[in-house]
């Protein structure tokens, strides 16, 4: 009898142990999660562009001579640094140079004729004054005095005509110089020559009315840069000129630049198959001169609408629908759902107004399978 009871007890124990082992083997495996702590810091509410923006130079000019002709001088090449009013290109203009020289010579001749006429007028006036005095003393006839006065007036008129002739000659010189200037292309500002469309001996032709042709010289002033970017029409009303911004360039990985809104377009762009947007311009503030920052780079901007400093914040990726988060319980390695109240938010951080304390651990990998209320979890050791 005792032996039979002993076998029964052992059998029951084996079954219980087997059930426990099977239950342990079938238990849910801990879900690997990424954990972050609620911390103090700054949270900004920002507005970003809907499509990639473009880095542009504040001043860029594609210029050509106002008249056509053969390129006679081309003292610059692509990449050259130039100063304002420096000659970039000159069309053959020997005929106009000769006209300017002729006009200068004509001025000299006119000046000489004016001098001769005015000296003669001065002599005639003195003679008329002398005879007039003699007439008053009865020492000359009326006819002689009147004739001298008439000659003096005529000579004075010739002097005035000669002065006018000098001014006409100067005006002719101005016209000739203006025509000559039309053959010389000068830099409108300090900058860099981006492109030269032409070679010595080639002909350049001005654009016909309504027909755009490539400029002869493209010059860029890269000392001042800005980003032109489209903003969704819904976000545009909150943006004001002067607001701070943060700029990122694809060419400068993980590097941000400060900026400021300098212009907001006064109209909404309505393009087919695209969302309606408003173009904004954000000037980029470069503390160190960066000659490698080239116009044309793709860029993104974040306009800072509002900011709260030294507030409790969590990564935005940890936020569930309905303003909830998963709290990690380190005692039993489980997570549980908790309601919170949020404030400002952006793609990186969300301000927490109520429901969390500094240092509490929350789950940021909320989109993983198995991450549910009450789930057993384990923390990824390679989390950074």
Tell which CATH architecture fits domain 47-60+221-307.
Beta Barrel (2.40)
Q: Which string of b and e fits 201-222 if b means at least 16 CB within 10 Å?
A: eeebeeeeeeeeeebbbbbbbb
DSSP 227-250: EEEEEETTTGGG--TT-EEEEEET
Going by C-alpha positions, the residue among 195, 217, 185, 197 that lies closest to residue 90 is 185
Q: Residue 288's pLDDT band (boundaries 50, 70, 90)?
A: low
Rounded to two decimals, what is the model's pTM? 0.66
Going by C-alpha positions, the residue among 268, 269, 265 that lies closest to residue 281 is 265
CATH top-level class for 26-43+309-379? Answer: mainly beta
**Nearest 5°: phi and psi at 338?**
-140, 140
Higher pLDDT, 154 or 139: 154
Alpha carbon distances (Å) from 379 to 219, 333, 335, 356, 376 = 57, 9, 11, 20, 10
Task: Quick: pLDDT tens for 310-363.
Answer: 999 999 999 998 999 999 998 888 989 999 999 998 888 999 999 999 999 999
Q: Is the model's pLDDT at 384 over the cut of 50?
A: no
Task: Quick: pLDDT tens for 211-257.
Answer: 677 889 999 998 889 999 999 999 999 999 999 999 999 888 878 89
Three-class DSSP category at 52: coil
Q: Residue 23's pLDDT band (boundaries 50, 70, 90)?
A: low
Contact 16, 260 (CB under 8 A): no
CATH number 3.90.420.10 is the correct assignment for the domain at 65-92+184-204: no
Higher pLDDT, 2 or 114: 114
Q: Distance between terminal CA atoms of the chain?
A: 66
């Amino acid at each position: 009898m005792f032996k039979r009871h002993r076998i029964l007890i052992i059998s029951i124990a084996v079954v219980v142990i087997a059930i426990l082992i099977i239950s342990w083997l079938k238990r849910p495996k801990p879900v690997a999660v990424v954990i972050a702590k609620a911390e103090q810091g700054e949270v900004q509410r920002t507005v970003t562009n809907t499509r990639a923006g473009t880095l542009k130079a504040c001043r860029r000019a594609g210029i050509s001579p106002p008249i056509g002709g053969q390129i006679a001088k081309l003292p610059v090449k692509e990449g050259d640094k130039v100063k304002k009013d420096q000659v970039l290109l000159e069309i053959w203009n020997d005929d106009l140079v000769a006209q300017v020289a002729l006009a200068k010579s004509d001025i000299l001749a006119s000046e000489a004729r004016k001098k001769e006429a005015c000296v003669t007028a001065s002599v005639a006036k003195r003679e008329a004054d002398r005879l007039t005095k003699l007439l008053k003393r009865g020492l000359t006839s009326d006819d002689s005095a009147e004739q001298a006065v008439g000659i003096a007036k005529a000579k004075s008129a010739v002097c005035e005509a000669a002065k006018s002739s000098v001014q006409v000659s100067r005006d002719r010189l101005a016209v000739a110089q203006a025509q000559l200037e039309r053959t010389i292309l000068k830099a409108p500002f300090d900058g860099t020559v981006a492109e030269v469309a032409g070679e010595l001996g080639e002909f350049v032709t001005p654009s016909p009315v309504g027909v755009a042709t490539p400029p002869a010289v493209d010059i860029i002033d890269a000392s001042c840069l800005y980003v032109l970017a489209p903003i969704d029409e819904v976000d545009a009303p909150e943006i004001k000129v002067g607001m701070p911004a943060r700029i990122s360039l694809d060419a400068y990985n993980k590097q941000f630049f400060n900026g400021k809104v300098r212009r907001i377009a006064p109209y909404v762009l309505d393009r087919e198959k695209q969302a309606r947007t408003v173009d904004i311009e954000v000037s980029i503030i470069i503390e160190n001169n960066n000659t490698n920052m080239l116009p044309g780079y793709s860029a993104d901007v974040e306009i800072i609408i509002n900011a709260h400093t030294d507030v409790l914040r969590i990564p935005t990726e940890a936020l569930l629908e309905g303003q909830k988060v998963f709290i990690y319980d380190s005692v039993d390695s489980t997570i549980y759902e908790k309601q919170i109240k949020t404030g400002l938010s952006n793609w990186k951080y969300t301000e927490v107004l109520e429901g969390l304390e500094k240092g509490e651990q929350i789950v940021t990998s909320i989109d993983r399978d198995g991450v549910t209320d009450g789930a057993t979890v384990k923390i990824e050791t390679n989390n950074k």
